[in-house]
Amino acid sequence: MPAPVKQLRGIAFANVAVVFFGLAGVLGKLSGLPAPVIVFGRVLFAGVVLLALAVLQRRSVRPRGRRDAVVLVAQGMLLAVHWTAFFQSIAVANVAVGLLSFSSFPLFTAALEPLLFRQRPSRIQIVAALLILPGIYLLVPAFTLQDRTTLGVAWGLLAGATFALLSVANRWLGRRYHSLTITLYQDGVALGVQLPVVFLVPGALAWTPGQLLILLVLGVGCTALAHTLFIESMHDITAQSASLLASLEPVWGIVFGVLLLREIPTGPTLLGGAIILGATLLPGLVTWRAAWRGPGRV
């Protein structure tokens, strides 16, 4: 396949995946279900699809030692916390606040990577992480958890922190395991973590046809399919390009929130979001620009 066609395919796959990622929060709110129930349904249907793929591909999913098994299980537990915090943020505030506060994860990644990998972040990464702080400040209308928007930001920050930890750990696991194996373990363990929801939340499985459809789309479309497409896109485009496209997730989420939920973000939310997104994009744009110019360009 010619290189330009491969690049176009990679860009298309990544964009479709990011659209599904952006849709997830809106679907969760449309379901009207509690955040733990949404996560349970999402990982249930995603896990079934991923297990079927692993069987069809005859892929071994056995951990290579006790340490790896512990990390994989811990990842699944983190995933359950991450998605619960994410959907709770959107439930108590709105889609824009949930997605934008979650987008603070580079701030946590910049703090975690030196601790876990003994790797110093670059100056541009430190600057970008610090720029996120005023963006978060603008999202918070009052410094009290009695305010629903502030509470939503707090849940979103928890979602961002757990996602950063997941990403850093995935970087280590990705050297040893196929992405399907990692995702299957994460979803399977998250399903086990969320299983008590079935017994503790009244009517947790009493889904209406509409709620069932939403959970199916969340599990199959926004999780199994979207992650597969996003990983596949990196066979045709660079990981840096894929990351830049992934930064559009809050934009798609806000668009879907306006169209499907009639949630119009406030001025401070949009300004804070613009700062957060700009800071998130900054390191990738600098790296991409340097790579594009190359040693022979001026």
- Residues 201-256 have pLDDT tens digits of 888 889 999 999 999 999 999 998 998 888 788 778 776 677 778 888 999 999 99
Contact predicate 237/9, CB 8 Å: no
In order of 25, 47, 62, 107, 268, the CA distances from 190 in angstroms are: 18, 9, 17, 25, 35
Mean per-residue pLDDT, 109-133: 76
How many Å apart are CA 42 and CA 186, to the nearest integer? 12
Q: In terms of Cα–Cα distance, which of 177, 163, 179, 277 is closest to 230?
A: 179
Cα 9 to chain center, whole Å?
Answer: 22
* Whether residue 297 has pLDDT greater than 60: no
- Residues 59-108 have pLDDT tens digits of 877 888 888 889 889 999 999 999 999 999 999 999 999 999 998 888 88
Domain-wise residue ranges, the chain: 3-293
* Whether residue 296 has pLDDT greater than 50: no
For residue 241 the two structure tokens come to: 């390009």
Which of 93-102, 113-122, 174-183, 271-280 reaches the highest mean pLDDT?
Answer: 93-102
